[in-house]
Amino acid sequence: MSDQEILDLAEEFAHYRRTVLEEVEVPGPAAVRRTARGRGRRRFATTTATVLALFGGAAVGYATMNGPDREPGPVDPTSAPSASPSATATASATASPSATASNGGASPTVAAPNGRIGRAQLLAATVSLPAWTTPAECPTGRVRLGAEPAREGVNELVALDYGDLDGDGATETVALVRCLFGTRGPFQVVAFDRDASGRVVTLGRVAGTASPTPGWVTALDVRDDGEVRVEVLDVAPGGGWPMKNSQRQWRGYRWTGDAFDQVSGPSTFGPNPRSADLSITATDLVLTPAADDSRSGTVTVRIRNDADRTPPGVLFTIELPKALRPVGDGWSGCDIGTGSTVLVSCQISAVPAHGEMRRTLELRVAAGTSLAPGKATLWTWSRDPDMDPWLDNNSDDNESTFGYR
């Protein structure tokens, strides 16, 4: 081997140390189910490494750099698909046409580029990101993905999985990406590949959040047959809404040659069972003098549930000026807090479906205390036994006011 060949080989080995060793990490549980996929590629890598070993230890490292990428780390755990009506789409994977080369009358098939892209490699690349289907100020087009914790307005790379999506015999990469725009996502699942020169290219958008549903994406799973399964929720967690109260679905997608079409799982969500439709109103408060020079009056609060479901519990809250004090048995089950205003929170029995509840509350102004006419605000919402709120199908009428004078 000439001195120049040794120098070239040393340079390639240094490049290998810089770009590949940082990608090596211990495979997680998700790598177990991909073992069968990689056996053929590992046999090829082993044969290549054996041949290159004849040229010295540095050449073996170079062979590793050009072989398959590392097995990916764990992605979010998966569970069995929910028993829901399946989508009727029946798209099938279309193999990409193979390039051929003429060689003395023979036309051997050229292997498709290896599209397994490691996490660090994808974070280092500028990728073409499809448009977001959920309206948000999220970067799109030619962007860089960010690692957790990413800053607001940056597309965060959440998880990766791998599989042969287009039937060309090579592996592609599927990424779960989230735009950190507020607490509610949005998410999209995007498939990436490499072109013949090794550059990262976007194969297409698989799925993602949309309005009104799905509101959240929790996991992805690429099957051995190339189907990409995505777990979605109807309601995004946040704003007091816990993820446990959201409906979950697994939906499957397959590459058709032009785009990803849904081929399995439900395509819509039904009404969330943890939802109601409450409204609240109250009569005005008219204060009348008492014998001790105080003034008092009553307010009748009316809470109605127009949904088909009865929530486990209902709360309502009233914010009062400090001069108005709750008195009497009508406030049973209420917590009264005093600060710059009087804030009263009351737990009441469940309001039945298409039913209502009325409660009469007495309020008093102490003798010698002045109170100008004004308005008080009240709210209502339903809750579960853990005090987590239910959805409300029409939250505009969950707040109201009443006058006092």
CA distance linking residue 110 with residue 101, whole number of Å:
7
The Cα–Cα gap between 387 and 347 comes to 10
Task: For 369-382, write each residue's pLDDT tens digit.
Answer: 999 999 999 999 99
Identify the CA nearest to 96 among candidates 240, 201, 187, 210: 201
Residue 347 bridge partners (DSSP): 315
Look at residue 79 in the predicted model and tell me its pLDDT.
Answer: 40
| Model confidence band, residue 73 (pLDDT cutoffs 50, 70, 90) | very low
Which is it for strands 374-383 and 260-264: parallel, antiparallel or unpaired? unpaired
| % the chain with pLDDT above 90 | 61
Round the average pLDDT of the chain to a whole number and report it: 79
Q: How far apart are CA 195 and CA 168, in angstroms?
A: 13
pLDDT beyond 70 at 36: no
Position 138 scores a pLDDT of 83
Band (pLDDT 50/70/90 cuts) for residue 349 is: confident
Closest listed residue to residue 215, CA positions, set 251, 263, 269: 269
pLDDT at 367 over 80: yes
pLDDT digits 0-9 by tens, 208-237: 999 889 999 999 999 999 999 999 999 999
What digits encode the pLDDT tens for the residues 164-214? Answer: 999 999 999 999 999 876 656 799 999 999 999 999 999 999 999 998 899
> For residue 83, what pLDDT band results from cuts at 50, 70 and 90?
very low
